[in-house]
Chain A
């Protein structure tokens, strides 16, 4: 199948977990096995929005037990005979092939997925920043010929793009290097943060220049963090920034004689 496949390079591979867990959008052709009135089809499609129960298909890469998945929307784009063009936004790990099959079961006539294209993976969509393999070969070649970095920047995006959809906490310079050494984030290090952070939320810790420092788990809500004067607000999970990018600003206890 074709469509959006984000690829992380070198150090940026540490952010892949975020993409694996993030929502996806697909456009698919569902072929019905007999004629179905449009009104009835629309009713059935609505039943597949929200929380659905899904058993992964026979050819799946996960254990085949029934799972709950969230389907954010199913838009009916076009009908041509028994072919139905759908746009589906769903949680990671939802099998669109199975949704088509199950819609067929509910309709009573049967249906299967004829074609699939992914139009979104987390923050990445089909847009002016997406490139084909041909584009990559061409742009990389142009960079080698000219040394102009703009050719690389045309298709290699900063890894911070990957973190666009998760809530962020911005950290003051003096706290950055401690975080790079694996320390947890404490309240005085916080400069600003996004609304909607809960205890246990995955958050991205960023510098004031917008660089990713690490992925962390919040230990307090946005409201609580705003009011805290001391104490840990987020526990580091994955450090992304190399040590020494920012100066070391913390004191080390003097060695005992």
Chain B
């Protein structure tokens, strides 16, 4: 079987089409988002413990942080 490269091993070169600058008065760098946007536009890289279901874990996180919506990326089935 021919090997298929894993998506995380692919390096993508950035190509410039035109020059432009961004106005510091609007928006902000993702890592500098103020509260509460940093939660509203946030993700958690959780190390799930064995036992409770992915669904239960998300419900806990929702309650701990007091957020309305939360969802997980791919069930880790029991």
Query: Do A and B come together as binding partners?
Result: yes
Binding site for B on A (CB under 8 A): 1-13, 15-16, 18-20, 22-25, 46-47, 49-51, 61, 70-73, 89, 92, 118, 120-124, 126-127, 129-133, 136-137, 140, 149, 152-153, 155-162, 165, 167-168, 172-173, 176, 190-196, 207-212, 222, 225-226, 240, 245-247
> Is the beta-carbon distance between B70 and A8 smaller than 8 angstroms?
yes
Q: Kindly supply a per-residue 1/0 record for chain B positions 31-64, scoring 1 wherever the CB is within 8 Å of any chain A CB and 0 otherwise.
A: 1011100111111111111100010011011001
Query: Which residues of chain A come closer than 8 Å to B13, judged between CB atoms?
Result: 194-195
Q: Can you name the residue of chain B whose Cβ is closest to the Cβ of A17?
A: B73
Give chain A residues whose Cβ lies under 8 Å from the Cβ of B43: 6-9, 12, 15, 156-159, 161-162
**Closest CB-CB distance, A202 to chain B, in whole Å?**
12
C-alpha gap A1/B14 in the complex (Å): 38
Q: How large is the interface on B (under 10, 10 to 19, 20 to 34, 35 or more residues)?
A: 35 or more
Across the interface, B69 reaches (CB within 8 A) one of A10, A61, A190, namely A10
B27 touching A245, Cβ below 8 Å: yes
Give, as a whole number of angstroms, the nearest-CB distance from B59 to chain A.
11
CB–CB B75/A61 < 8 A? yes
- A120: B residues at CB distance < 8 A: 8
User: Inside 8 A of A240's CB, which chain B residues have their CB?
Assistant: 41
> Contact check: which of A121, A132, A211, A245 meets B73 at CB < 8 Å?
A121
Q: Are B48 and A194 in contact (CB-based, < 8 A)?
A: no
In the bound complex, do residue B68 and residue A1 qualify as a contact, i.e. CB atoms below 8 Å apart?
Answer: no
